[in-house]
Structure 1
Amino acid sequence: MLPRWARFIHPDAPDVHSKYVPTNDKIFKSPFGPFPPTAPNLNVHEFCFPPDQPLPPDYDLFINAVTEERVTLHQFYNRVCSLARVLRYDGPNPLGLSRSPKDDTENGEILGLFSRNHIHYPMLAHACFRAELAFGGISPGSTPFELWHVLRKMQITSLVCHEALLPVVREAIKLGKGPADQLQLVLDTNKIIVLSDDASLEKVQGYQTVEALVRQGAKFPEPRRKLVGGDKLCYLFQSSGTSGLPKAMMISHKNAIHSGLQGMTAAAMTAKFAGVEPLTHQTVLGIVPAYHSYGMILWILRVNLQPATNIMMPKWDIELALKSIQKHKITLLPLVPPLVRQLALSPLTEKYDLSSVVSCASGAAYLPPDVAYQLAEKLPNKTPIPSGYGLSEAASIASPPMAGIFGLNPSEPGTIGFLLPGMEGRVVDPDTLEDVPKGTKGELWARGNVVCMGYFRDQKATAELFAEPGWLRTGDLVMRDAEDRIHYLDRLKEMIKVKGLQVAATEVEDTLLDHPERLVVDACVAGVDNGRGDGSLFPRAWVVLSPEGKKQGEATVARKLNEYVAQRLSKHKHLAGGIELVDSIPRTPSGKMLRREMRDMYHQRIKASKSQSKL
């Protein structure tokens, strides 16, 4: 019999000891080769739990880092089956759910998941997969205004909400149906379900709990059926795309399966190269949020593909993280750059035993090389922290592989490595849309089964995302070197990364211009260096005062604008980089705002000020 991991490697995959030959073709491919074949109509749940295979021996799958509550693999599977029976539109259906749409040309049931990291969040997602119920992951940091927008954008008809977030839901509902010329609020308040930390509760504030539904589903018989997946809509993600308020990005079952499969393929082939058993048990620190594509891969799309015990943290607490590493002998640390920096600089690391950590990886944003080296010095193997590359629209595109595999030279920090299994890439001039030669900077375009279907009910944004059929415009400036290694240079999109989270400059600008007292007539927002050296940015605003703004004065306007942004937008979108008054905002002849120019002028001024202070 073939080992369990054999299904993750294509029969014609290159030998791990062979030598990858770079190409001068405009399209370059992954050294790992193609994805292994999968059934065309495969459902995510049946990919993770093949119906013809028994479950492996039981183990702790999720552990709450705070309370020590545990869910084993077998408990997880049984709970998923029970809840899925309740959520099926063609089953007993006590909630009265309808069939989910296959894509954005149809109406249907879309369940919102509105919760922080929780040991039962992955169970909710897998129950949806098994019930063929499309869902939308929503940031638990959303303000009522942001939630109201996302509920409308995703056309959420039913909602699972953590009990702590019920007040936000109530305030969002009070905002009404929405403008007639936009997608309207369709949430049925009779279909709100509460995720409670108290498993004994049947209801919270009049709403049924998830646990009550699991207990109810356990009493229903299990019908025999073949699940449907493939190109059908699986879930929606929040994404800002290139601009504006968050959009709803469509992920099919095929997209999701290959996002989970990709890491398994790379890990299995890397283990073969290293001469060790592939995909052995890991213990993982669970801080990356599950509603984010990075967390979706880690906590949901890889369940039962590789044995792992996940120590889930509801929110970041550096000492709790260190205690968890020591207590549970955590082997893998998936992090984002600001957390890498905190661990690298914190003296608390000296108090705890980190000897169990085998590997650490960073994602969701650019990781500065110095940060990668600093944390490595505190970990047993001293290897610089690698930084993978992906985006919401294609969860994983490139990553630094193990040095030597396929004869590849090391990918030093500052590069994003080589294309991951199943991916193809191009580097294109963003203005002419012509491919550029190797060694020349351009926009990275990507193609592969992980690339999303497009934006839900937003044809214009989808057309901007795909300049050519199948080719995703990443909006990131890169350089492809002689070995086909990719070097990240800068962002082309008007997006600001704050602690790995996206901030659309236009969303903050629109909020400033929308102040009820009309204090400004023009506004520009860009990301500026936060001064901490972790690669993260702070949003900064440059504003042109209106007559009313001039009348009230600079200090009052700044205070009122900050208060309004804080009221309307999540914390990571607040203007931590400050507000600056200017006479005008520079623009191109066609009217495009020169945000990059404003940002660069600010950085030059700060740099000159620091140089002057040293004299």
Structure 2
Amino acid sequence: MTAGVLKAHWSRYLHPNAPDPHNYKYKTHSRPVFSSPYGPFPPTPEDLNIHELSFPQNNPLPPDYPLFINALTGEQVTLHQFYYRVCALARVLRFDGPNPLKLGRSPVDDKEDGEIIGLFSRNHIHYPMVAHACFRAELVFGGISPASTPYELWWVLRKMQVTSIMVHESLLPVLNEALRLGTGEGDKNSSLRLVLDPKKIIVLSDDGTKETFDCHPTVESLVRYGFTISERKRKILGGNRMAYLFQSSGTSGLPKAMMTTHNSGLHSGLQGMVTAVQNARFASVEPLTPQRVLGVIPMYHSYGMILWILRVNLMQLTNIMLPKWDLELALRTIEKYRITSLPLVPPLVRQLAQSPLTEKYDLSSVIGAGSGAAYLPPDVAYQLAKKLPQGAQNPIPSGYGLSEAPSIASPAAPGIFGLDPALPGTIGYLLPGMDARVVDPDTLQDVPIGQKGELWARGNVVTPGYFKDPKATAEIFAEPGWLRTGDLVMRDEKDRIHYLDRLKEMIKVKGLQVAATEVEDCLLEHPESLVRDSCVAGVDNSRGDGSLFVRAWVVLTDEGIQQGEETVAKKLDEWVKQRLSKHKWLTGGIEAVDSIPRTPSGKMLRREMRDRYHARMKVENRSRL
């Protein structure tokens, strides 16, 4: 049974008892634990390595094709080049090989210490090659945001216990500044010290001919050296060994280091293959036909990890990578390369939907677009769909996951397994291999269908926990195996999941809970289209009773600007009062702003808007005295 997962055919992505997408009808029930209509994952060997899922031993490579292309320069890496370069670099990175970098053995879990290499780079066509070389070399790596300040980098290096690092040449000054902050002795926020060895810095240079950069070896010099080393036959280990660390989003403070094993990582890669095969079978088309994908999602992020690293060679994908987001470059790239797939995050969906530039380019090649990493307002999902061949009747679907469990739920093809459509406003049905519950966050008791509660998730994609942080791990696992997502949801009678808000961002008004996203969506749905973006948060009511006022910040459309802020604020206030209960009214006021701050993945920084407002109120109150 386990050998079947390594067959070079799409059937390897189906469990032997996988449901038939036409004949099987998913049945709902009222029990607390509900499961994916797609059924379980296909069986896999217990010790499978992520790299070996992508490139099974003794299997010939498929015919060659361009795997990664730099949209700006045209530089490309083919599948065959990628594989042979991975093998070469892995020979250099192995702790038990020639080992020119003097790397140690990596830990198998967070109870051990050992070699952990940080990957600190913007998107680059050679980043996935480094990641796969680490998998093959059994070298644990940690993905680090290229937007990190020196202080943030210093913190993450300590949380991940990074001992060596690959850094893009443009980010070397940030790394040098971080190293000057010292080991962290005396830091009350963490007992973890900086353990990075400055002699183990590798530079990812855009100039492939360079042997060194600022006295550090380049990635390309190590690849060239790897081609001079003979391959040693060995069993590559994986399974429940730690594979990589993620930098958590840090929405509740400084980031944590989240662990992913080979087992959880490869199942994140398999999940999309299972759904793609079943959707194709349902549509009566050949599964996993070649696709051309627009590459903008960050590679250090869990979403980007699935797209650019975990799916390599699972199907034929040519990934056209943008070094950074540029709207017109993206549109030119879609037209030039006849892009078929657009994986996006909400801010990019909004830009593409609302920019007049979109009308100037040929987007007819796009078969599908999808959004992830953050909440996608329904109005934007419909707006972009209108501009794509799929049309407004097929709004942009939004998947749901966390760094701690990258892919939990997503809308399914209407009709597959007898499922009803999951329209914008829901996050759809559970993905393959997933179980879920909806639980009262205070009592930890399961709530009935139709009631609000915290989503708990279970499945092979779930993290084992936070690296060397047992307290934080205990907080997200109230019961063994069940991940507390921290998100407030509602399960309906069809087992669709409706996202309501982050639990920590719920606004308490006179003892009643207000979901910020509900009010934000209401503002965006004003019939005169006055608002382009909105942010809602609870602000101090100055009474000291623990209750809050609901305040909105809005970015106006051209129509809104023309009508004027005062008129728009009055209309929006009346609209909310017509649509929502009294405790959800905007008693804290409405303010027009130029933009709403968000993380690179699109998560709204409500706390930042709230803190700015409170700071301003404090200054104004002082000036009145």
* 2:118–2:165 Cα contact (<8 Å) kept: yes
1:283 aligns to what? Answer: 292
Unmatched 5+ stretches in structure 2 = 508-515, 525-530, 543-596, 619-625
Check whether the contact 2:374–2:601 (CA below 8 A) recurs between aligned residues. Answer: no
Post-superposition CA distance 1:87-144 (Å, at most 9, x none): 0000010000000000111110000000000000000100000000000000000000
For residue 166 of structure 2, what is the aligned residue in structure 1? 160
**2:436 matches 1:422:** no
Q: Hey, what's the Cα distance between the residues in 1 that align with 2:75 and 2:282?
A: 37
Secondary structure (helix, strand or coil) at the match of 1:170 reads helix
- Counterparts of 2:208 and 2:169 in 1: how far apart (Å)? 12
CA contact (8 A) 1:367 1:534 kept: no
The one-letter code matched in structure 1 to 2:447 is: V
Deviation at 1:493, TM superposition (A): 3.4
The 1:495–1:290 alpha-carbon spacing in structure 2 relative to 1, beyond 3 Å, is farther
- Structure 1 residue aligned with 2:364: 355
Deviations 1:238-274, CA, capped at 9 Å, x for gaps: 0146732100000000010100000100110111111
1:183 maps onto 2:192 in alignment: yes
Residues 1:14 and 2:23 aligned together: no
Mark the CA change 1:245 to 1:113 in structure 2 (over 3 Å): closer, same or farther.
same
3-state SS in 2 of match to 1:273? helix
Q: Please, which of 234, 247, 253 is the counterpart of residue 262 of structure 2? A: 253
The residue type paired with residue 333 of structure 1 is L
* Inter-CA distance 90–536: structure 2 relative to 1 (3 Å threshold): farther
After superposition, the C-alpha distances for 1:516-550 in whole angstroms (9 at most, x for unaligned) are xxxxxxxxxx9996988677759999799xxxxxx
Alignment of 1:78-477 (within 5 A): 78-180=84-186, 182-240=191-249, 243-382=252-391, 383-477=394-488
Q: Which residue of 2 aligns with 1:580?
A: 613
Task: Report the Cα offset of residue 53 of structure 1.
Answer: 1.2
Corresponding residue number in structure 1 for 2:528: none
The answer to whether the Cα contact below 8 Å between 2:339 and 2:366 also exists between their aligned partners in 1 is yes
Contact 2:505 2:537 in 1 (8 A): no
Give, as a single letter, the amino acid of the residue that structure 1 aligns with 2:132: H
- Give the share of equivalent positions with the same residue, in percent: 67
Task: Tell me: higher relative CO, structure 1 or 2? Use CA pairs within 8 A at least 6 residues apart.
Answer: 1
Counterpart-to-counterpart distance in 2, 1:262 and 1:99 = 30
Contact 1:424 1:446 survives alignment (8 Å): yes
Measured in 2, the distance between the counterparts of 1:230 and 1:255 equals 8
Question: Partners of 1:539 and 1:140 in 2: how far apart?
Answer: 29
Does the 8 Å contact 1:143/1:570 carry over to 2?
no
What's the TM-score once normalised by structure 2's chain length?
0.82
Tell me: CA distance 1:3–1:45, structure 2 relative to 1, closer, same or farther (3 Å): closer
Question: Separation in 2 of the partners of 1:580 and 1:333?
Answer: 36
Instruction: Report deviation, 1:52.
Output: 2.4
The question of whether the paired residues in 2 share the 8 Å contact of 1:243 and 1:494 is answered with no
In structure 2, the CA distance between the partners of 1:535 and 1:432, relative to structure 1 (3 Å rule), is farther
Relative distance call for 1:49 and 1:171 in structure 2 (3 A) is: same
Q: 1:466 deviation in Å?
A: 0.3
Q: Judging changes above 3 Å, is the alpha-carbon distance between structure 1 residues 584 and 360 closer, same or farther for their aligned structure 2 residues?
A: closer
Q: CA deviation at 1:490?
A: 1.1
Matched position secondary structure for 2:309: helix
CA contact (8 A) 1:543 1:581 kept: no
SS at match of 2:420: coil
Tell me the matched-pair count.
533
Report if the CA contact (8 A) 2:292-2:317 is conserved: yes
Seen in structure 2, the aligned counterparts of structure 1 residues 442 and 495 have a Cα distance that, compared at 3 Å, is closer
Give 1:570 deviation, angstroms: 13
Shift of 1:23: 1.4
C-alpha change, 1:581 and 1:261, in structure 2 (3 Å) is closer
8 A contact 2:373–2:601 mirrored in 1: no
Q: Measure the CA separation in 1 of the matches of 2:162 and 2:183.
A: 12
- Deviation for aligned residue 1:421: 0.3
Corresponding letter in the other structure for 2:91:
R
Q: TM-score when scaled to structure 1? A: 0.83
